Structure formats: structure tokens, C-alpha cells
Amino acid sequence: MKVVLTLTEGSPHFGLLDDLDLPDMRIVTVTTPEELADEIVDADVLYGFPTADLLQRGKALRWIQSPSAGVNYLQNLAELVQNDIVLTNTRGAHGPSIGEHTFALLFALTRHIPESVQAQRSHYWARPELYRTSREMRGLTMGIVGYGAIGRAVAQRAKGFDMEILAVDTHPDPGAPFVPEPWGMERLPDLLEQSDVVVVAAPLTAESYHLLDAAALARMKPDAYLIVVSRGGIVDEEALADALEAGRLAGAGLDVTEIEPLPAESRLWDAPNTVITPHTAGDSSEKERRCVEILRENLVRFANGETLMNLVDKQRGY
């Protein structure tokens, strides 16, 4: 069995695979697109991101371990959706990092960190402008859109700040932790109307594209915050810019956008009370290690003919 590793998420921790006692497995690490094109021809397993060209060349591929949790590239890869190659992802690896980043964005807004940093650069003590304008998390309601591994990691941290938690999901799990009972997506309007903070933690699919459009955003409280940390495209960014510019939201924290990098002409760059980070919520050395730990476990399972972790339903897109 031949396994091809690409230098993507987790690559600094590939040493975790060195002591795998799987005599029939040969692991090859590629560093260039040319090497990948050559090695994929007779590979059974790919750790990396599939493309139409790789699928065309990799006739022996049986399993792809995606380095990311999101697999929205499936929308443009009918070749993968329609064949019998097994697809798994790194669901769960990114939860702690994204959970923390969610609150970094939220606290930047509620504690006026960008304004304080700007004042610092100007050597100005901004207390007169910022005094008595901050908000506490305690007692606020956080609504989480998408209650998978990322949504639950966010909720776990929200519990630590004594927040009330609501959640909606396409497939709500009655036994899910940190929330009394997740709702189905039909309750999204209720979540938007009741929440002081709305966190987008859902995968991007055909069904979730522009899920939060102008009408949905209008349901949010005017003093509520929107935090987007899973995938761009779920929020209609023109509608969001309209809401922020009109003062119909207290602020937004965005780590992902529909087009990345965010185009220079996007209105979101200059929207009031908006904090933008460049898709770094999932980044941490610890996350990189967890990605390889998932790969390692799945390599053992694959070699032994066992069910793999984090199987992706290619029809659903997650």
C-alpha cells in the first residue's frame, strides 16, 4: 500500500508516522506539484487536497485524507463525489484553536481592542472615548449556527463565560453537550432573534450558501455581534456591509470570507466595528499535531480493514 503525503497541514509532525508497524505500507512525502503528479499514479492513499487532475492520474486511489475539516471543494469535484474513493477529514482537530479564536474576535469587539491599539500607536490615552462602553459576556446568549466539532468547541468556552447557548444544525443531536437541546435549521429565525452573539460554525454547502442573507441579518438584535469562523460564503457579505454601515449590528468578527484573500475593494475592510483576520482561526502547532494524529489512527485502521474516523458524506458535503 502506497501513501502519498503532501506538505500541508501537520507536515511538521510527520515524524509521528515513523514508528508505524505496518510492513505492507510505503509512505512517500512529496514537496512539489511535479513530484505529486508522478507519485499519485500508483498511490492508494493521498494526504492532501484532491483536484480533478490528481483524480484523473490517481487511478489506484482508494482513500483521501483531507488535511482540512471543511471539504467544500467537493462542490467543484464531481469526479470525486461520483466515484468510490473514500474521503475523510480532520474534523475535531481545529476545534480548540477556532474556539479560542472565536472569543479573540468577540473580545476585540466588546473590549474595544482595535480602538485601543490605534490610540496606542498615536500615543493617546483613549479612556474618555472608551470608558463605560465595553460589554461583559456573562448572561448573554450565544447562538451557534452549525453544531459540529467547531460549534461544540465554541460552546464549551461560552459555558466558561456563563453564557446561555442556543444552537441549530442540519442534523441536531439530542445528546449534544453544552446546550439544552440543539434545534433543527427551521429554528434559525428564533436563534437569530434571541441571540446577543451569533457564531457561524457550519460547513459551506449548496444549502448553506448565503444562509445569512439580508432578511436573516435583519432578524438579529441591533446590539448583537456576528462572528464567522467556519467558511466564507455562508454570510451574504454585501448584506452584512449594509447592516454594519447602517448601525443595525453592534459589530462583526470575520476570519473567513467568500473570496480569499478578501478583495481590496470589499466594503468589509472599512465597515464600522469590524475585525478581520486572514483565515487563521484554525492555526496552531497543537492543531497541526492533531491532524497527523488523526491521519496516523486512520492509517492503522485502513491497513487493518477497519472503519475510518471522520468519514465524509460526499453527497452532503460534510
User: Splitting the chain (318 residues) into consecutive groups of 10 residues, what average pLDDT does each group show?
Assistant: 96 96 94 97 98 97 97 93 97 97 98 98 97 96 98 98 98 96 98 98 96 98 98 98 98 98 98 98 97 98 97 95
- Single pTM value for the model: 0.94
Confidence at residue 264, expressed as pLDDT on a 0 to 100 scale: 98
The burial class, CB within 10 Å (0-12 / 13-18 / 19+), for 149 is buried
Q: Whole-angstrom Cα distance, residue 275 to residue 273?
A: 7
Q: Which residues are catalytically annotated?
A: 231, 260, 279
- Report the 3 state secondary structure along the chain: CEEEEECCCCHHHHHHHCCCCCCCCEEEEECCHHHHHHHHHHCCEEECCCCHHHHHHCCCCCEEECCCCCCHHHHHCHHHHHCCCEEECCCCCCHHHHHHHHHHHHHHHHCCHHHHHHHHHCCCCCHHHHCCCCCCCCCCEEEEECCCHHHHHHHHHHHHCCCEEEEECCCCCCCCCCCCCCECHHHHHHHHHHCCEEEECCCCCCCCCCCECHHHHHCCCCCCEEEECCCCCCECHHHHHHHHHCCCCCEEEECCCCCCCCCCCCHHHHCCCEEECCCCCCCCHHHHHHHHHHHHHHHHHHHCCCCCCCECCCCCCC
Confidence at residue 177, expressed as pLDDT on a 0 to 100 scale: 97
| Structural domains of the chain, with CATH | 2-93+285-303 (3.40.50.720), 95-276 (3.40.50.720)
The CA-atom distances, in angstroms, between 267 and each of 41, 229, 263, 274 are 45, 19, 9, 11
Among candidate residues 20, 81, 7, the one with its CA nearest the CA of residue 47 = 7
Cell representation of residue 60:
489506484
Q: Whole-angstrom Cα distance, residue 86 to residue 11?
A: 22
Confidence at residue 263, expressed as pLDDT on a 0 to 100 scale: 98
Confidence at residue 289, expressed as pLDDT on a 0 to 100 scale: 98
Confidence at residue 314, expressed as pLDDT on a 0 to 100 scale: 96
Q: Which H helix or E strand runs over 67?
A: none
